[in-house]
Chains A and B, each alone.
Chain A
Amino acid sequence: LLNKKKVYIILGIIIVLSLIIEVLFAHPHHHMIWNTVPGADVIMGFAGAWLLILLAKKIMTSLFQRKEDYYEGGNRHDG
């Protein structure tokens, strides 16, 4: 089916197409840097997703996740 490489290629094509359309036709309503610079949203999506994975998977997992029987009286203070 789809492997990682194919997904990257498809996404690359989508990004390039959307960039072309954005440069040619877009008229931003707002004037912050992420509205005006073409392709800024790709970077924001990338950085945002990376940040969220870091926050959720690295930090929140260790802080808030416990064994499944935690409330049923399992090993209570086990991370």
Chain B
Amino acid sequence: MMDNFLQPGLIMIISGLLVIIVPEILRKVVMITAPLLTGYAVITSGADKLTLMVGIIFSIIALIAGLYNLHVKDRVELCVEAIYAGSSISVVFATHWIGMLIFWELMAVASWLIVVVSRTERATKAGFRYLLVHMLGGNLLLAGIVIKMAQGSTLIECLTGQQDIAYWLILAGVAVNAAIPPLNAWIADAYPESTMGGTVYMASYTTKVGVFCLIKLFAGTEFLLYFGVFMAVWGACMALIENDLRRLFSYHIISQLGYMIAALAIGGASGIDGASAHLFNNILYKGTLFMCSGVVIAATGKRKISELGGLGKKMPVTSTCFMIASLAIAGFPLLNGFNSKSVVMNTVAESGLHWAELLLMLASVGTLMSITLKINYFVFWGKSDNNLMADESSVPMNRKIAMILGAAGCIITGIFPNIVYGLTPFGTDGHPFTVDHITQYIQLFAGAIIVFVMYIEHMMPKAKITLDTDWFYRVPLKYAVAFLSQLTDNVRCKTGNSIAVLVEKTNECVKNPSILSKKIFGIKEDSEGLEDDDVLQAPIGIMLTVTALFFVGIVVYVFLRI
């Protein structure tokens, strides 16, 4: 049990606490050394390959995100971000159900704080919804784990094939973090409200921990394939109509998770390798996309695509890094998304699931259109009427370096796919750079670009918001709760009033029982009998008699019993 707590994630958690108290100059040292030390601890931990792989990429992104946030003065934010990263790594390294659960909850609380730490009203509200959803997930997991432990299983094990209640509860708990519909809306709801750096952290950990747990616990669960494929296509469609920059990326998290979930649902060596390789690459390019969008939003003060435009030449470093990461997410050859996507697609094709293969290709086309083409055109390189006064002089150097590191990571792991392939649990030896594979993607993208250019006038997103499953708890649930509270309030008020009336009447009768006798015997108030003392006192005499008789009865009864 103890090894659940003395493990690499602890370094980041302690660094989070240190960040609050140490002097300014040491704070930066702590923020950079902690991820490096974590990385070292991960490599020397001797854990299994899947844990090692996820631990390594989590340490890398902790370093890059730490660098991205190096200039931030808000120590509370930096603290919760480090604790969040540390608790995510701790979940990955946990071997005991309880250890997993404790860090899972810590992760949920820390990530909620990352949302609310931007200190806007929107963030507070979105953070509250975020916390509710994640507490639900945590409690489902808790219930499942309690049942598991009652059955005598204390160590985390693969649950595939079991169909008992604990299986379903744990699956539902993990599904919240992996954003499996209908439990997906929290991503697009909360992520855009966080701070620029906070979003980079959040995009890298929560959902990936969910996928890691799915790989570890549920690899080979066939029905998840349907969810995975649906997520891949639906996320891309939602991204296509989305207007808010970071909400759009949030939908792409869902779309990319779809690929991973489809691969792990098929399972086997290649499925698990495909899912974990895609997880690794996804963190790099998705982190870079969020870093670039954060820089754009911070520099311009605008978060909607319809209000942005023409930033390509004004922000050269950002737009170049964004271009690289956006090509990587679409699966452009020589960038990392291509390599891991090819393992996933191979797995699906070899399983004979041609419908899934076609739909995942469709999702690739959607990704290309909604990120690579749409954002590069409307935000960076296309003609725009929005004349924004933004340039990169206000962007801190550390943010530029972080973006460049992220983009460089996409290129390096793209050109040398064996770096990632070698880390996968089964050491997949996919050959992504075959002629048919490269021509396939080039042709697919060329066909899609033609359509995009044809309809370019219609591709500009409208200044509207898109409803998601969060509608259910933001509108009907709100009314249902309002109705219930109104109902409870009414019942409370009515009951209270009735009791008050009853008490008042009883009081009157006890104080002056003649009122009772008047009511019972029909003596009217204005009758002359009211003046008569005998009439007034008669009921008291009766009352006393009855009481005395009752008392005597009790005494007699008690004596008889003895």
Do A and B come from the same complex?
yes
| Assembled-state Cα–Cα distance A65/B354 (Å) | 32
> Across the interface, do A41 and B434 meet the contact criterion of CB distance under 8 Å?
no
Stretch from B130-138, B175-183, B234-242, B389-397 at the A interface: B234-242
Known: A22-B435, A45-B365, A66-B465. A14 touches B446 (CB 8 A): yes
Residue from B350, B453, B475 within 8 A of A7 (CB atoms): B453
Q: Given the known A-B contacts A65-B462, A68-B465, are A48 and B436 also in contact in the complex, defined by CB atoms under 8 Å?
A: no
* B439–A67 touching, CB < 8 Å: no
Within 8 A of A (CB), among B333-376: 346, 349-350, 354, 357-358, 361-362, 365-366, 369
A26 to B437, CA, bound (A): 8
Residue of A nearest to B451 (CB): A49
Interface of chain B residues 208 through 262 with chain A (CB within 8 A): 236-238, 240-241
Partner of A46, one of B238, B435, B450: B450
Say yes or no: is B495 at the interface (Cβ < 8 Å to chain A). no
Contact with A along B8-29 (1 / 0, CB 8 A): 0000000000000000000000
Question: Is B450 a contact of A60 with CB atoms below 8 Å?
Answer: no
Whether A53 pairs with B435 at a CB distance below 8 angstroms is no
- Is the beta-carbon distance between A35 and B449 smaller than 8 angstroms? no
Nearest Cβ distance between residue A70 and chain B, in whole angstroms? 6
For the complex, give the distance between the alpha carbons of A60 and B468 in Å: 11
C-alpha gap A50/B456 in the complex (Å): 12
Known: A45-B365, A61-B241. A21 touches B439 (CB 8 A): yes
Q: Which of A4-63 contact B (CB under 8 A)?
A: 4, 7-8, 11, 14-15, 18-19, 21-22, 25-30, 32, 34-35, 39-53, 55-57, 60-61
Residues of B within 8 A of A28 (CB): 436
B464 within 8 A of A: yes
21 A-B residue pairs with Cβ-Cβ distance under 8 Å, sorted by A, are: A7-B449, A15-B443, A18-B439, A21-B439, A22-B435, A22-B439, A26-B439, A29-B434, A32-B357, A35-B349, A45-B450, A49-B448, A52-B362, A53-B240, A53-B455, A53-B458, A55-B237, A56-B240, A57-B458, A65-B466, A66-B466
Bound: A41/B368 CA distance, A: 15
B155 close to chain A: CB less than 8 A: no
Give Cα distance in the complex from A46 to B365, angstroms.
9
Known: A60-B237, A60-B238. A52 touches B365 (CB 8 A): yes
Q: With A and B bound together, what is the CA distance between A32 and B241 in angstroms? A: 32
What 10 new A-B contacts, CB under 8 Å, besides A4-B456, A76-B475?
Answer: A11-B449, A15-B446, A41-B443, A42-B447, A48-B362, A52-B236, A60-B237, A65-B466, A66-B465, A71-B475
Within 8 A of A (CB), among B444-481: 444-456, 458-459, 462-468, 474-475
Range of interface residues on chain B? 35 or more
Which of B241, B362, B435, B443 has most chain A Cβ within 10 Å?
B443
B445 touches A56 (CB 8 A): no
3 closest pairs, A vs B, by CB?
A: A45-B447, A41-B443, A49-B451
A11-B241 contact, Cβ under 8 Å, with A26-B435, A27-B436, A28-B436:
no
Q: Are A49 and B452 in contact (CB under 8 A)?
A: yes
Quote the shortest CB–CB distance from B433 to chain A (angstroms). 12
Which of A11, A22, A66, A68 is B446 in contact with, Cβ under 8 Å?
Answer: A11
Say which residue of A25, A41, A52 sits within 8 Å of B440 (CB atoms): A41
CB of B442 within 8 Å of the partner chain: yes
- Which residue from chain A places its CB closest to the CB of B455 in the assembled complex? A53
Q: Report A-chain residues with C-beta under 8 Å of the C-beta of B240.
A: 52-53, 56-57
Asked if residues B436 and A22 are in contact (CB atoms below 8 Å), the reply is yes
